[in-house]
Amino acid sequence: KTKHHQNINTINSFNNLTNTMTNPQLEQALTRTDEFLAKYPSLFQYETLKVLEEKTGFNKVYFFVLFSLLTGTTIYFIGGAKLVTDLVSFIYPAYASFKAIDSPDQNDDTQWLTYWVVFSFVTLMESILSFVIQWIPFYFFIKVAFFVWLYHPHFLGAGLVYSQILRPHIVPYLKSFAEDGQTVQKKSQ
């Protein structure tokens, strides 16, 4: 009787897995991810993923997710959490900054210049306060979330950090420093 119940439980578990795999939300996520991958075929090796899908019968998005997880895990084991957070806080913003330089729109220039000012300030503070940071649990996860918040188009937190923290507290000192520098320069002439 117990073995029979175990077999039924195994079958029920498989049925639950199958139902999860045919979930409409999952299907929608797979479709949206596939459309995203198709937009950038050379970046995501779309043709290679299609060949894998044809040969195995598994959706190409699963291979993309698996490859992404393996790559992320490898990067983590090579350089640790710091490397992962540095890549997250640098790669996309650098790419978007290159695009902004070539675009006629001034708003994206302001966004990315502001991001890099905040990025530099946070990096400097992180170096100065490294002895404190080691005691903050999950610091690198918090840092990733913070940097994504800074540059994500929905939030654009860099502008908020600049206008609410850096401009009122740092910019006055920079102006004073610049004025002192001009005074020294005039005296030396």
Q: For residue 95, give the nearest of 118, 81, 115, 79 by alpha carbon.
A: 115
Spatial contact of 20 and 9, defined as CB atoms under 8 Å apart? no
pLDDT tens digits in sequence order for the chain, 189 residues long:
555 555 455 555 544 554 555 688 888 988 999 999 999 888 889 999 999 999 998 899 999 999 999 998 998 899 988 899 999 999 999 999 999 999 999 999 999 999 999 999 999 999 999 999 989 999 999 999 999 999 999 999 999 999 999 999 988 888 887 776 676 667 666
Q: Where are the domains of the chain?
A: 2-66, 79-188
Spatial contact of 140 and 81, defined as CB atoms under 8 Å apart? yes
What DSSP line would sit under 127-175, residue for residue? HHTHHHHTTSTTHHHHHHHHHHHHH-TTT-HHHHHIIIIIHHHTHHHHH
Q: Sign of the C-alpha dihedral, residues 149, 150, 153, 155? A: positive
